[in-house]
Amino acid sequence: MKAKPTKSYLYEHVARIGKALSSPKRLELLELLAQGEKPVETLSAQADIDMRLASAHLKALREARLVETRRDGKYIHYRLSGPDVSQLWVTLRETAEEHLVELRVALEQMASEPDSLCSESRESLLQKAKQGDVIVIDVRPPAEYEAGHLPFARSMPLGELEKRLADLPADCAIVAYCRGPFCLMSDEAVKLLRANGFTAQKISDGVSEWAACGLPIETSKN
């Protein structure tokens, strides 16, 4: 006769996921991975931590089965182990924003371009983008754009934006987005665009938030 697992055994397993989500660095890595598969080196650079520390945190995430790995020569690429992980991150972040006032305050203080948030609904924005009434630009690194981006969005990495201003129509409203509400790249983009006479706004959504409410995501590579 097999010993039946106890009830607390079930909660212990769920707590494994909770533990994985209990470190700020790991959450930052998760959000970066939500932008697409990346090697450890890139992750440690983008999260601004030592590669050995990044490796340790990624090991913890892997043991909680939230991420998976793929070897490619010298590089080991990490990716989320499913779209539900990205959904979990969004739910967790939204719950934090809902209940922690300090977080909402901090978010406001960090915005260098207040009042730049596009007030439109996701659906109507999608419609306008389709009709060409607005230009939606993705200011993340090209690799992240290729891994998945909003429909009708053009890749316009923040680093190259200044050089490529001429590619944008001066008479059309521009809406920028980046990795999500915690990412400041779209904010920087709006600042730059406005300084050059463009009509620009941002949305706080990243691909995770967009996908979390059931809207489609496009990929460029096959």
102 binds, among DNA, its own copies, none (CB under 5 to 8 A by kind): its own copies
Which of DNA, its own copies, none is residue 2 near (CB under 5 to 8 Å by kind)?
A: its own copies
- Residue 27 binds its own copies (CB under 8 A): yes
Q: What distance in Å separates the CA atoms of residue 34 and residue 82, rounded to the nearest whole number?
A: 10
Among all residues, which ones are annotated catalytic?
178
Q: Which of 5, 11, 13, 56 binds DNA (CB under 7 A)?
A: 56
Among 68, 69, 92, 117, binds DNA (CB under 7 A): 69
| Residue number, 55 or 87, with CB nearest to DNA | 55
* 142: helix, strand or coil: helix
Reading the block at residue 39, the tokens are 């090697």
Based on the shown chain and the rule CB under 8 A, indicate whether residue 82 belongs to the binding site for its own copies: yes
Among 96, 170, 172, 195, binds its own copies (CB under 8 A): 96
| Segment near its own copies (CB under 8 A); pick from 16-24, 131-139, 159-167, 169-177 | 16-24
Secondary structure (3-state) at 131: helix
221: left (phi over 0), alpha (psi -120 to 50) or beta: beta
Report, in Å, the least distance between residue 25 CB and its own copies: 7
Per CB under 7 A, the list member of 71, 99, 163, 221 interacting with DNA is 71
One residue of 2, 4, 7, 52 binding DNA per CB under 7 A? 52
Alpha helices in the chain (DSSP H): 7-20, 24-33, 40-46, 51-63, 83-99, 101-110, 122-131, 142-147, 158-161, 185-195, 207-212
Q: Please state, in angstroms and rounded to a whole number, the distance separating the CA atoms of residues 107 and 25.
A: 18
Read off the tokens for 212. 């979390």
Select from 13, 22, 65, 95 the one that contacts DNA (CB under 7 A): 22
Q: Does 100 sit near DNA (CB under 7 A)?
A: no
CA atoms of 132 and 151, how far apart (whole Å): 12
Largest Cα–Cα distance in the chain?
76
Q: How far apart are CA 27 and CA 165, in angstroms?
A: 33
Min dist. Cβ of residue 189 to its own copies (A): 16
By CB under 8 A, how many residues form the interface with its own copies?
A: 50
Interaction between residue 217 and its own copies (CB under 8 A): no
Residues contributing to the site for DNA (CB under 7 A): 19, 22-26, 39-41, 49-60, 69, 71, 73-77
